Structures are given as C-alpha cells and as structure tokens.
Amino acid sequence: MPPVSPDSASAAGDDRPSWNAYFMAITDLVSSRSTCLRRKVGAVLVKDKRILCSGYNGAPSQVPHCSETGCLRKQRKVPSGEKHELCRGVHAEQNVIIQAAYHGISVAGADLYCTTRPCSICAKMIINAGIKRVFFKTGYEDPLSLEMFAQAGVELIRLD
C-alpha cells in the first residue's frame, strides 16, 4: 500500500479532515492564546504526524502582556513589517522553537504549521533549527524571508 500523503484524508470516504487541515485548525486554536493587539498568530511543530510543540505570539514569561500595557508599536507608530525589535512580543514561530528547546525536543526535519507566513527574523530561526517545510494560511509582506527560505531549500506551502 502506498504511503498516505500528509495532506490527504486518512481513508477513502473518510470525512475526517486531512492532516494539513487538522494541524492548521490547531494553529488557529493556539493563536487564540495570543495577547498581541495587532495580529494573533499560532504555530505548531509537527514530525511524523505528531505534534511536538505549539507557540503563539505574546510577551515573554513574567513580562506584562500588550493586552495589559498597550501596544508599543502602535504607541510609537511603527508600520507593520518594520522594526521587528520594537515590540514586546515574541513571535509564535520563535516561541514554538523556544518551547521545544526548553523541553529538550528536537525539531530537526519537522514541519511548521503557522497561521501567518514567517517574517525574516523567524525565517532565520526556522532555517537554523532544521525545519524543512512551512505551511501557512495568510501571507506576510517580507521579501527577505522568501529569499532566505528559497536559498536554504525550506519549502513554503500556502494552505487555504
């Protein structure tokens, strides 16, 4: 029997979601934990159809969330996609990799499911973590991330 691709349903006539739809739906749920006032993002790392870790965007542990203090980027009138360092939040992609490291989980060869295509800062972390494919729902205007992913051979797959 040929292997089932990760995006196909589990069996003929089965009404369960495909693996891609399943993992992407989980990223939506994870994003609901975000405390960012501008964009709620969720990320899930998957290997061999098993969830390794999840992450969402928000302030670091023990630091007040933007939902409590207000958005630093809005206060300073920083446009989306610029000056990523002027933000209290850690991106969902960063958090999922950090959580995996914190708990001693190898992510090399894993797939990343994310509600939003990663920015260039996250792209660097994804590439160096050995993540091979990134599935995402919505785009994010950052041409440098696209260039780096292409150069590193990380496959970007948009899911609707």
3-state secondary structure of 58: strand
122 marked ligand binding residue: yes
State both tokens at 13: 């006539």
93 noted as active-site residue: yes
Out of 82, 93, 147, 155, the active site residue is 93
103 marked ligand binding residue: no
Q: How many residues does the chain have?
A: 160
State both tokens at 141: 């205007």
87 marked ligand binding residue: no
Detail the DSSP E strand segments found in 20-139.
Answer: 42-47, 50-56, 111-116, 133-138
Q: Which residues are annotated as a binding site?
A: 91, 119, 122
Q: Which residues are annotated as a binding site for Zn(2+)?
A: 91, 119, 122
Catalytic center residues: 93
